[in-house]
Amino acid sequence: MKTHLFASLAIAAALCSPAANAQEKRPVKIGILETFSGPFGMIGQAITNAFMLELDANGGRLGGVPVQIVRQDDQAKPDVGLQAAIQMVEQDKVDVMLGPTLTNVILAAYQPVVQARTVMISTVGGPGELAGKFCDPYFFSTSWQNSDTAASMGQHMQDIGIKNLFIEAPNFEGGREVVAGVKRYYKGNVVKELFTPMTQQDFSAELTQIRLAAPQAVFAFYPGNLAVNFIKQYSQAGLLEKFPLFTASSIDGTNLAAMGDAPMQTYQTASWNADLPNPANQAFVAAYRAKYHDTPSFYAAYAYDAALLLDSALRQTGGADDRPALVKAMEKADFASVRGGFKFGPNHFPLQDFYLLQVAKSPAGAVEQQVRGTVFSMHGDDYVNQCHMPAH
């Protein structure tokens, strides 16, 4: 009799244990819809690597809740992204969607996701429309509004007295928002403003125009492999010595190594860098390097924060069945961000610091970005006053 009693008690104790309770919970389905192919494929991979780093460290759980991952490639195409988002929502029944990568794809996929009350987290693109008049309770950004980082560079160039500036960027929604951000804070003379095709790889014609315009400085925004080509060609043409190059959201851990010494002494602005000294960031960078043998990019940092955000929210809600409760838990941003200071504004976009970075060599001779100062402290985006968040 005692044997049966002890066995029954052991079974009851096991069923009441945290591990058993976690097993009984319905898994949260998370869709990762990013760009994994083409010139922006490195961005999608960096995002996935960082998100999986936190998920794997927690044994496949976030907030103690088991997680299932569904992954699709949006191919940087709005129509593909839209169809993939619809499939994730209607067929895969995801609770949360991470992505897409590019702004024009986010805008294409946005409506069917939020209308289904599926939580959508952007770790890269931050369209002004979604920070402003079309904000929605089910859309969060752990990265930025597209023009934020460029706005901080515009402020820096204004502060150091740049009088004449040449600007260029790829011709898509995100590129136009970046340029608008620069011009909101930079008040000097823009001698020329160029928008180039998204598929362009040869910038010799644009470099000739820069030489002829003879500006005091150049601002360029090119993500992924586009930045590799532009900056290498810029340096090889001998323009760095004549026209200092300032960038935003262009040079990062996904493409810096491919540029060699080309970007040396160029300046960037960002809300995160690998050398930020807060403990959460130091732990993240060390873990990422140990697992992937590479230095994380800001794309990775913002995806890692997305994982931490979901971990904190799911720990409060115990799952994703109550979507409004999950949204309210996410709004608290109750986690230690790799950026140090971080909280959400009323439009679900971050308030965060923006830093001036410079490409230089480490004591060991490695080319890296190093923090040189702070441009903005706990800066919010310029669209928040247009957001009248619906009830949720």
Q: In a structure prediction context, what are the per-residue pLDDT tens digits for the chain, which is 392 residues long? A: 444 433 343 444 444 444 444 456 799 999 999 999 998 999 999 999 999 999 999 999 999 999 999 999 999 999 999 999 999 999 999 999 999 999 999 999 999 999 999 999 999 989 999 999 999 999 999 999 999 999 999 999 999 999 999 999 999 989 999 999 999 999 999 999 999 999 899 999 999 999 999 999 999 999 989 999 999 999 999 999 999 999 998 998 889 999 999 999 999 999 999 999 999 999 999 999 999 999 999 999 999 999 999 999 999 999 999 999 999 999 999 999 999 989 999 999 999 999 999 999 999 999 999 999 999 999 999 999 999 998 77
What are the structure tokens assigned to 130, written together? 């979604």
Pair 148, 271: CB distance under 8 Å: yes
Q: Residue 324: CB partners within 8 Å, gap ≥ 6?
A: 137, 392
Position 224 scores a pLDDT of 87
CATH topology (fold) of 28-144+276-352:
Rossmann fold (3.40.50)
Exposure string for 283-308, b = 16+ CB within 10 A, e = fewer: ebbebbeeebeebbbbbbbbbbbbbb
Position 24 scores a pLDDT of 62
Task: Show me where the domains of the chain are located.
Answer: 28-144+276-352, 148-270
Pair 151, 132: CB distance under 8 Å: no
Same topology, domains 28-144+276-352 and 148-270? Answer is yes
CATH topology (fold) of 148-270:
Rossmann fold (3.40.50)
Position 10 scores a pLDDT of 41
| Helix (H) or strand (E) run with residue 384 in it | none
C-beta atoms surrounding 260 within 10 Å: 13
